[in-house]
Structure 1
């Protein structure tokens, strides 16, 4: 068996992408682990069969894209066995992403990781392996991508365009006017809360120009809300809101939209989002009336909360003397830069304690605390309780009992 899969082992040694051979019932060989069953497919047999179905449907080797960043290679050899390469990722996954992936596939290996690679590298590997175990030559350009939910599902074809043009000509529907969009975005960007409240009071007849983007009212409202979140989040950043905070907030509102079951609920989330962003921009503008270097310092910290950095690096990045920055920061904020960094990291960590199931050790590492114990001490200093106590007390459980089932 070892000599039979000599080529696979050598290819694995060169590319680092895991590979297994599956006969439809059991895993015959797996690199890097030499056990009969190992890696992802040991824990998630349903996904193994899913990848096999892709190989069954294709005559040539295929790259199967499970998620935007994660992909596999698959083909059937001359014996009818499945050869499956992967997973590999287009970029390095952070600890939170990796933990989520492990949870999704029930992976129990503590040291499990996913190698960074590319579709091109895997295509080259597949051509060599396919020739060795199938006896047929194939060019890299013949190896196509197969998306998990079907590529055609996401593509816009000529028929879609013609249908839209027909609807527009028959119904005289046009997209929302540039004037209204500019007005709406301008209000957010300026942080004008009063103007936003007035705009939110207009009835639907004032915005009839919105085009049809879905075949039912619920989807129509959902798409409009998603577009609105994207526009507003970018406008808020231009208005002075911290980019990290703006992106995080948009993610949270998108998750809120996923939970909505009615047009009314979508409308409520959209309205809350618009006002929330506008108020945050106004607050950011008020803060920026202080020392410009202090505000740049806070922006830098917001972007680098999940990275290790030194205050000297921060000062150099914003172009100011470290001693001067430390002094004016303490005068304006009433705390040192280090204390502010610890507070912000603990504040974001507190959200993860409430809203996720990630372990305290992972959260501590994610926010660059030296140890879990160090995280615990800093957290208790700010919140008056340990992270575990905080999670038990503040645990957030979303309830939608008010929604008609």
Structure 2
């Protein structure tokens, strides 16, 4: 049994098992980041790059990030799937528990699919590397082992189980990785602008697999989405830019988000919320500088759509109440009244008022106020907007009334809210 081996025997044994099983480099780094064991003995050197100090330096950075990212013992001990800007993949597992002082285990580098000349050339252009270095980079990529996405996930799970003796599912692995990614736009919060994240792409492959993926979004099933995503092969993606691999990935991501937007609306998500999510996720992707960031952002975005659909299903509103909420969401900066909503729904105002309060627990006027205060909180986190401007834009009679309503729903005044968040 593994637990009968001493640490100085157990870790080398696990490293050799993984190396023999997958023929992929395995490294044991001590707590100082120094190499205790490497299989094979000589780590594959990456060619000189414009913006990189070398692969091992990046590995050590990911080791530090993984070691410091967990909020509890189990989170800290979960393996992290890391992808560099040059598409090398590796698994990082910070050791914990009794093995905590032993350091970190790293599997990699590997590729999801073999690197062809066209892809390598566009990748080098993305990083401003001379085309004269293409041959040496192709030689480097040819020496890296190829493990498709699912096999690498299974390697990470096997490593975790060998080290801890505990089971781990693909969903747990992926959801933990998503929690550790910087998923927000600069200066934002998850609910500030209806979120901003994402990961991977689905075009030019079996259409049934694509349909299955978007069916999970339509049903609000994030676990099913992650399972289906894990089965996609990197080499089946389309090429939407011959000049830039990064541009191709962004285009594929934007296409996927467009399809996810439609699937979410088919699943009952308010169309304006779906479109707003789409806008911000696409804007975020356009700002990203490397392929791994685009991949992570796309998966996070697809999960975001599934989560919103699921939350919408939980509300169990009638079509009429949902239509009212959607109209209020779209017209929050306009004059809103019960009579206007009655006209939108085609119902008697009195009946609509009773139905809406029965299903939401709020009178129409209270619901409008609450939504406007939520919007005011978002506006207050933006620079250069005064409280009087916000009150006027959201149709409060005057600033004192705005303050009264704001305190009713938040327990503090607008000035206290800004002060607590360090906003001037």
TM-score (norm 2): 0.48
TM-score (norm 1): 0.50
Relative contact order, higher structure (CA 8 A, sep 6+): 2
